[in-house]
Amino acid sequence: MSVLVDEDSRVVVQGITGGEGRFHTEQMLAYGTNVVAGAVPGKGGKQVAGVPVYDTVSGAVREEDADASVVFVPPAFAADALFEALDAGVDVVVAITEGIPAQDTSRVYRMLEETDTRLVGPNCPGVITPGEAKLGILPGNIFESGSVGLISRSGTLTYQIVDSLTSRGLGQSTAIGIGGDPIIGTDFTDALGLFEDDPATDAVVLCGEIGGEDEEAAAAYIDEHLETPVAGFIAGRTAPPGKRMGHAGAIVSGSGTGTAQSKIDALESAGVPVGDTPEEVVDHVADLLD
């Protein structure tokens, strides 16, 4: 068991003919992901890495029974690609694209309310269920199948923690990169809910960072609804207010909201042990699983 994606997921890659799309399609196939189609306007009938390309996402759904999409479309066209995926009715859309204008994402988010599709991202490394499927750009070789669920706003920080988990023999059920943008389709609370319902997940790592109030909301949700134990990490303790730390969403506002301390306090008061270092988080996970 796992969440969001597994060996049965039938994946369509939007933007498969671009450099990133092509490269990561090869990587996803090499990992064993069931990539059944690509979708690029005007490129129907071609093949990329042996995968048939369709002009529309609907075509890929109709002809290849695609039920999950991963999006490598450039920012100016990404929102349109996401609308198309929602319209085609896939179950899961993973938006890798970084730099989508916030007002575009806001409209996508609005459309999402009208559908049953789950959007992950944008500006995220993707989703991986080790040994079964990966949708996105995560390096598959550092993951190991197991019972730890992972939710993170960041890419390489996720890899850092996964690498430590794996080297300590703590495999992962599914890892979800939820993305570093201010507006994202799946937030910590949504992802926690998915793991809570997954019998294969025995503990969850929540890897947050400065900006917004999503970690605080997650802490309240954990306190009220979660049986599965959670360990936390928050990046950006030393970030100065008003400076965007790489991610569009990672900024402590002038009025002092979105600080690391506020998030750490909220998580700790919900009973979530928060590591001072990535290694400490892994220690906490090991303790939770004992």
Partner 1 sequence: MKLHEYQAKEVFAEAGIPTPAATLARTVDEAVTAAEELGYPVAIKAQVQVGGRGKAGGIELAADADEARAVADRVLGMELKGYSVDRVLVEDAVDFVNELYVGVTMDRGVGRPVAMVSTRGGVNIEEVAAEEPDAIAREHVDPAFGMFDYQARKVVHEAGIDRAVAGDVASVLTTLYELWTERDGADAEINPLMVTDDNEVVAADAVFNVDDDALFRQPDLAEMEEETAGDELEAKAHEYGFDYVRLEGNVGIIGNGAGLVMTTLDLVDHYGGRPANFLDIGGGARAQRVANALEMVFADENADAVVFNIFGGITRGDEVATGINEALDQFDAIPKPVVVRLAGTKARAGMEILDTDRVRVEETLEAAVQAAVTAAEGVDG
In the complex, what is the shortest distance from the CB of residue 63 to partner 1, in angstroms, rounded to a whole number? 30
Active site residue 24: no
Q: Mention every residue, 6+ apart, whose C-beta is less than 8 A from residue 156.
A: none
Query: Which residue, 24 or 118, has its beta carbon nearer to partner 1?
Result: 24
Catalytic one among 24, 225, 247, 284? 247
Q: How far is the CB of 129 from partner 1 (least distance, A)?
A: 17
DSSP state of 88: H
218 vs 216: CA distance, rounded Å:
5
CA atoms within 13 A of residue 262's CA, in its CB half-sphere: 17
As measured in angstroms, the least distance from the Cβ of 102 to partner 1 is 5
Task: State the nearest-atom distance from the C-beta of 267 to partner 1, in Å.
Answer: 15
Residues that bind partner 1 (CB under 8 A): 23-24, 27, 75-76, 99-103, 105-107, 109-111, 137-139, 141-142, 152-160, 163, 180, 182-183, 207, 209-210, 212-214, 217, 233, 235-240, 243-250, 253-256, 260, 276-279
CB of 221 to partner 1, least distance (A): 14
Please state, in angstroms and rounded to a whole number, the distance separating the CA atoms of residues 173 and 1: 7
Rounded CA gap, 103 and 42, in Å?
27
User: Of 96 and 194, which has the nearer Cβ to partner 1?
Assistant: 96
- Which of 61, 120 has the CB closer to partner 1? 120
CA dihedral 179, 181, 183, 187 (to 10 degrees): 30
Integer Cα distance of 156 and 257 in angstroms: 25
Residue 122 or 149: which CB sits closer to partner 1? 122
Identify which of residues 63 and 277 has a Cβ nearer to partner 1 in the complex.
277
Q: Which amino acid is at 93?
A: V
DSSP state of 160: H
Cis bond upstream, residue 122 (ω within 30) = yes
The catalytic site residues sit at: 247
